[in-house]
Amino acid sequence: MTIRNFNRIKALLFNNVTTKQTIFKNTFWLTLASIVNKILRLVLFIYIARILGATEYGKFTFALAFVGLFGMFADFGLSQIVTREFSQEKEKEKEFPAVFSLKILLTLGALILILIGSFLITVDPLIQKIILILAFCFFSDSFIEIIFAFFRARQKMEYPAAITIFESLITVCAGIFILFYFPSVKNLSYCYLLASLVGLIVALFFLGLKLQRLSLNWDKSIWKKFLMISWPLALIGVLASIYNQTDSIMLGYFKQITENGWYNAAYRIIAATLTPLGLVSVSIFPVLSQSFKESKGKMQKVWNLYMEAIIFLAIPITIGGILLAPGIINFIYGQNYAPAILAFQILMVTSGIIFLYTPFQQVLVVFDRQKKIFWVILFGAIFNIIFNSILIPKFSLYGAAAVTVATHFLVGILLLKLTLNFHFISSFNRRILLSFTIAVLSSLLMYFVISLPAIYNLHIIFSILFGALIYSAAFFVLRYATGKFSIIYEKN
């Protein structure tokens, strides 16, 4: 490789030059980190589920869900606000030491709540110990996230990517070693804590080396300013955590631990299907925020790109996941997890809904409409708690899955309605509707092809790859064939 080619690659992957190149660079690093992270952790969770069984797996995921419920108390919306504010005005970076100091206090408060709550949610001493260990893991992860927010504001996703991969390697390697030689959910929890602490040390090193030397600043005026901006997002996060974690926590509370293991086995795969959504959203959010400050035309272009990417991914993932659910569950977890198949198919609908409404939630944050999002999420949380308490005792994990779908559907409708009230961008236009139509037609063709016994009965990996190939080919052929419509739109 010549020096010239090396410099070109270096500029492409490490420098911010143009909007599209920056989005590509950020997406590349986030994709790399996320793929490695998801694959490694999926391998770990497969071993946890297979070696420890559904009941022990249910205990571990119940503890994870309970600790995760308090995540937004520690963050209080600061991470997203730091990314938004610092990406719009670099001068505000001098306030980071004060934000970090505030983060310490918030995290300590959340840690105390977790420790107290662990004695109220369960009487099982093992689960209480797991919650205690994972609480300190959560404490460390909370600081890593605020550091990542700084990197995202600078649009330097390569550093979070490297740290994420490194932490995942430690978690999975240590976890598999423990599962084979000292198998227990408590020992597994220690692996998570070890990896998180190492990840925090590395994140602090990169922060001081590349961006800003870490210091503390107990300036209450800066705290007040950021809290006044972030509190709607904080409440949104708390409520979102409630309706994201309520199902698992209620299954555990109603002593359906084995069912919780089946449910979370399905939910873990759903989380993996949302990986592309997270990658695209995290990459585009800083650019979307920046374009809002620059011009309406530029923001419209970024929005169109965002929506087209989401539509391209959402439709085939949802349809393909529902069709191939039996093969996916059996391949990953084995026949003992057959009860998870129907729950997985129901939850796949949730995945598609989240894909499609996330851009609207993100753009409302850019418009500084966090308070309106709060009321939507509040409605979703109340709806979720009420109907989970009714349906879980009757229908177990399937009731929980159905409530999750209904909750996200209602939230999506309300977010869409809010976004349509603002006319700074055209939320729907011919270009976006054309992409949606093409994605639906291509997905239907994919569904028909992989439903054929010759394809459906292949090994699940080959069925997925074949479906992805059919969908992509059909999408781009139709996109090319309808290119004149896009040209007409651009001229108009």
What dihedral do alpha carbons 253, 254, 256, 261 form, nearest 10°?
Answer: -30
Q: How many CA atoms lie within 13 A of 90 on its CB side?
A: 5
Residues 6+ away with beta carbon under 8 Å from 275 = 34, 35, 38
Q: What is the rounded distance in angstroms from the CA atom of residue 249 to the CA atom of residue 120? A: 12
> Which pLDDT score is estimated for 491?
45
What dihedral do alpha carbons 18, 20, 21, 27 form, nearest 10°?
Answer: 140
Report the pLDDT averaged over residues 148-153.
78
Place of tokens 């961008």: 425
Report the pLDDT averaged over residues 331-360.
91
Q: How many CA atoms lie within 13 A of 270 on its CB side?
A: 27
Higher pLDDT pick, 473 / 218: 473
Q: Has residue 492 got a pLDDT over 50? A: no
Q: Has residue 27 got a pLDDT over 80? A: no
The model's pLDDT over 423-446, given as tens digits with 9 standing for 90+, comes to 667 777 888 889 999 999 999 999
The model's pLDDT over 229-254, given as tens digits with 9 standing for 90+, comes to 777 767 777 777 776 778 888 888 88
Report the pLDDT averaged over residues 361-372.
81
Q: What is the rounded distance in angstroms from the CA atom of residue 32 to the CA atom of residue 162? A: 9
User: Confidence band (pLDDT; 50, 70, 90) for 370?
Assistant: confident
> Which pLDDT score is estimated for 344?
95
Q: Has residue 42 got a pLDDT over 80? A: no
Residues 6+ away with beta carbon under 8 Å from 180 = 51
User: Confidence band (pLDDT; 50, 70, 90) for 279?
Assistant: confident
Q: Are 88 and 155 in contact (CB under 8 A)?
A: no
pTM above 0.85, yes or no: no
Place of tokens 């209450």: 220
Higher pLDDT pick, 61 / 405: 405
Q: What is the rounded distance in angstroms from the CA atom of residue 166 to the CA atom of residue 177? A: 17
Q: Has residue 378 got a pLDDT over 80? A: yes
The model's pLDDT over 94-129, given as tens digits with 9 standing for 90+, comes to 777 787 888 888 888 888 888 888 888 777 888 889
Q: What is the rounded distance in angstroms from the CA atom of residue 131 to the CA atom of residue 115? A: 8
Q: What is the rounded distance in angstroms from the CA atom of residue 162 to the CA atom of residue 202? A: 10
Report the pLDDT averaged over residues 452-466.
91
> Which has the closest alpha carbon to 315: 269, 344, 277, 360?
277
Q: Is 119 exposed, middle or buried (0-12, 13-18, 19+ CB in 10 A)?
A: exposed
- Mean pLDDT (the chain, rounded): 82
Q: Has residue 487 got a pLDDT over 50? A: no
Q: Has residue 312 got a pLDDT over 90? A: yes
- Running DSSP on this structure, what letter comes out for residue 18? S
Q: Has residue 486 got a pLDDT over 60? A: no
**Percent of the chain at pLDDT exceeding 90:** 21
Q: What is the rounded distance in angstroms from the CA atom of residue 258 to the CA atom of residue 95? A: 47
Q: Give 327-357 as a DSSP string.
A: HHHHHHH-GGGTTHHHHHHHHHHHHHHHHHH
Structure tokens that stand for 470 in this block: 């059919």
Rounded alpha-carbon distances, angstroms, from residue 306 to 223, 291, 319, 357: 33, 13, 21, 12
Report the pLDDT averaged over residues 5-13.
59
Higher pLDDT pick, 122 / 356: 356
Higher pLDDT pick, 281 / 18: 281
Q: Has residue 420 got a pLDDT over 50? A: yes
What dihedral do alpha carbons 405, 406, 409, 414 form, nearest 10°?
Answer: -150
